[in-house]
């Protein structure tokens, strides 16, 4: 594999994530059309030198029949992807239930289900069983495709049980696990009924990575306090086995954004949008419509700003792109209605015959539209209540070479640790503070904007997604070497 005459053998990497980086659409009994979603992880891994990566994950569709499954396996193979087939029942209990109604809110400090959420989580144990079953199904597929010398990189909170399943198959398999969300304080993690099993399983990995040092520290504290293990500077030790734990802050492929801004279509869009918003400052929010993103709080802060600064009412527009997500989970359905209600009320209150203050879209934009929008924005508002990293803030900075707009950034997003010196940091729960920051951003003198932008731009363009992936993969390789040395000693 990957080895051709005279060329060094490439390191084979199996990337395992809940979702494959493709959307699959069935065209007939045995035909599928596939669209690659060029997300952060894909471009990160494409940039890693001398690595031959394959993806294993759920294709996001239910394929109950063998003909359809075989055809999808074949179509995906061309994209170096391997599907894990999950039936509707498992998806409901594992993905909608345990992953997105339990782990996701908990890891973002929104706690375990109460009130409405409790009603859909009455059978916690059966959801956890489905989670373990789904993780075992991922492990089965990895095991079928694993060859000696491969490294396996598991991603995110969906697959916390996977490292253990993989090591049970083959203790020599090199396994890394990376969490894309925050890891909460041990005091939060200890409320989880399955807290022990999940920690023990993650510790089966050779290398465990987080976006920030704080998340890594919280994980080590959870292991020391809840499992009573020994925490060391390099990680956690359990019966002589050291699991390396470290921070690997992700970035973006900033060149991809630079290249997009040079395209004629994007330049035309920038002209069009600039004309459309002439005479008004543009504020932008781009978020999945998720409770962790703090969209209602952001809009309420914008309302407070308008209330206190009436002269701005027809001079500023807030564009909120709210990408629908996890629409089968009741909490997300409720949030959609709540946001619509607030937007409607504020537009009714401050709108005029010719303009409304909030332009809210319940859909995603294509990549080029998004680049153009970032480029014409004066102030970006990233007000997540908690967020593992938040790459919208990075994308905005990458596209602001000309405007040098202001980034208002939640102090509870991982990105606050890297872009904090250039951004205006806010506590998103404090609506008055966010409203004041909006006023400050809109009135900020050009030299201060320039200085802040320079700081952020330098960071975003030098800490890329490719560096992130390369560092993790190389540390994972080294970790295994260390483990072998330990065994030899």
Least CB distance to ligand G6P at residue 390 (A): 9
Dihedrals phi, psi of 304, to nearest 5 degrees: -65, -40
User: Which is closer to ligand G6P, CB of 182 or CB of 235?
Assistant: 182
Q: Measured from the CB atom, is 100 or 297 closer to ligand G6P?
A: 100
For ligand G6P, the binding residue among 19, 360, 449, 459 (CB under 6 A) is 19
- Whether the CB-CB separation of 395 and 261 falls below 8 Å is answered with no
The smaller minimum CB distance to ligand G6P, of residues 231 and 330, is found at 330
Taking the complex as a whole, the smallest distance from the CB of residue 397 to ligand G6P amounts, in Å, to: 19
* CB of 60 or CB of 420, closer to ligand G6P: 60
Sign of dihedral through CA atoms 92, 94, 97, 99?
A: negative
CA dist., res. 159 & res. 165, Å (int): 10
Rg, Å, the chain Cα set: 23
Q: Which is nearer to ligand G6P, 181 or 320 (CB)?
A: 181
Contact flag: residue 135 with ligand G6P (CB under 6 A): no
Number of residues located near ligand G6P, criterion CB under 6 A: 6
Q: Residues 148 to 167: which contact ligand G6P by CB under 6 A?
A: 156
**Least distance from ligand G6P to the Cβ atom of residue 273, Å:** 27
Contact 88, 58 (CB under 8 A): no
DSSP, residue by residue, 384-423:
-SSBS--SHHHHHHHT-TTT--EEEEETTBTTHHHHTTTS
CB of 326 to ligand G6P, least distance (A): 5
x-or-dash pattern for ligand G6P, window 298-337, by CB under 6 A? ---------------------------xx-----------
| Contacts with 392 (C-beta within 8 Å, 6 or more apart), sequence order | 286, 287, 380, 382
Place of tokens 């990549």: 367
- Among candidate residues 297, 286, 253, the one with its CA nearest the CA of residue 430: 297
Beta carbon nearer to ligand G6P, 32 or 107: 107
**Among candidates 113, 119, 159, which has minimal Cα distance to 15?**
159
Q: Smallest distance from the beta carbon of 435 to ligand G6P, in angstroms? A: 28
Query: Residue 464: CB partners within 8 Å, gap ≥ 6?
Result: 44, 47, 251, 252, 253, 254, 255
The enclosing H or E element of 174 equals strand 174-178
Give residue number: closest CB to ligand G6P.
Answer: 180
User: In the bound complex, what is the minimum distance in angstroms from residue 203's beta carbon to ligand G6P?
Assistant: 21
Residue 180 in contact with ligand G6P, rule: CB under 6 A? yes
Structural element, H or E, at residue 48: none
Smallest distance, Å, CB 264 to ligand G6P?
31
Indicate whether 395 belongs to the interface with ligand G6P (CB under 6 A).
no
- What is the nearest approach in angstroms of ligand G6P to the Cβ of residue 263? 27
Residue 181 near ligand G6P by CB under 6 A: yes
- Which residue is associated with the tokens 């938040």? 390
Least distance (Å) from ligand G6P to the CB of residue 66? 26
User: Can residue 108 be called a binding residue for ligand G6P (CB under 6 A)?
Assistant: no
Give the residue among 317, 254, 326 at the shortest CA–CA distance from 293. Answer: 326
| Closest to ligand G6P by CB, 19 or 117 | 19
Of the two residues 328 and 478, which places its CB atom closer to ligand G6P in the complex?
328
Q: Which is nearer to ligand G6P, 19 or 189 (CB)?
A: 19
In this structure, are strands 151-155 and 11-19 parallel, antiparallel, or unpaired? Answer: parallel
Binding site for ligand G6P (CB under 6 A): 19, 156, 180-181, 325-326
């Amino acid at each position: 594999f990957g080895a051709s005459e005279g060329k060094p053998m490439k390191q084979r990497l199996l990337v395992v994530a809940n979702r494959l980086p493709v959307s699959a659409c069935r065209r007939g009994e045995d035909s599928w059309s596939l669209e690659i979603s060029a997300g952060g992880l894909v471009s990160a891994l494409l940039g890693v030198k001398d690595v031959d990566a394959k993806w294993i994950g759920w294709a996001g569709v239910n394929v109950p029949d063998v003909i359809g499954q075989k055809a999808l396996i074949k179509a995906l193979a061309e994209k170096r992807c391997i599907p894990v087939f999950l039936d509707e029942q498992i998806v409901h209990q594992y993905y909608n239930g345990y992953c997105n109604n339990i782990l996701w809110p908990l890891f973002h400090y929104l706690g375990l289900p109460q009130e409405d959420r409790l009603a859909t989580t009455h059978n916690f144990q059966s959801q956890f069983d489905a989670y373990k079953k789904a993780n075992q199904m991922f492990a089965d597929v990895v095991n079928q495709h694993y060859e000696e010398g491969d490294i396996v990189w598991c991603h995110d909170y969906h697959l916390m049980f996977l490292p253990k399943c993989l090591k049970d198959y083959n203790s020599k398999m090199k396994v890394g696990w990376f969490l894309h969300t925050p890891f909460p304080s041990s005091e939060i993690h200890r409320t989880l009924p399955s807290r022990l099993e999940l920690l023990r399983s993650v510790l089966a990995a050779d290398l465990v990575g987080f976006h920030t040092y704080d998340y890594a520290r919280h994980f080590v504290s959870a292991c020391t306090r809840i499992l009573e293990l020994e925490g060391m500077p390099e990680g956690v030790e359990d019966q002589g086995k050291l699991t390396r734990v470290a921070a690997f802050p992700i970035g973006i492929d900033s060149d991809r954004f630079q290249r997009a801004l040079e395209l004629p279509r994007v330049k035309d869009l920038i002209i069009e949008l600039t004309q459309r918003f002439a005479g008004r400052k543009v504020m932008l929010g781009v978020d999945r419509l998720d409770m962790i993103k703090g969209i209602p709080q952001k809009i309420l802060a914008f309302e407070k700003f308008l209330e206190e600064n009436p002269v701005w009412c027809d001079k500023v527009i807030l564009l909120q792109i709210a990408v629908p997500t996890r629409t089968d989970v009741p909490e997300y359905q409720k949030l959609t209605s709540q946001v619509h209600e607030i937007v409607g009320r504020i537009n009714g209150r401050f709108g005029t015959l010719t303009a409304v203050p909030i332009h809210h879209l319940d859909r995603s934009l294509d990549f080029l539209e998004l680049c153009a929008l970032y480029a014409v924005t004066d102030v970006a508002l990233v007000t997540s209540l908690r967020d593992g990293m938040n790459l919208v803030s990075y994308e905005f900075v990458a596209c602001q070479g000309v405007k040098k707009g202001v980034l208002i950034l939640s102090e509870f997003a991982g990105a606050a640790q890297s872009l904090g010196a250039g951004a205006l940091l806010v506590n998103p729960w404090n609506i008055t503070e966010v409203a004041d920051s909006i006023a400050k951003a809109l009135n900020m003198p050009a030299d201060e904007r320039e200085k802040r932008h320079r700081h952020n731009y330098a960071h975003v363009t030098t800490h890329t997604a490719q560096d992130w992936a390369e560092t993790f993969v190389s540390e994972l390789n080294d970790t295994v070497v260390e483990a072998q040395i330990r065994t030899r000693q």
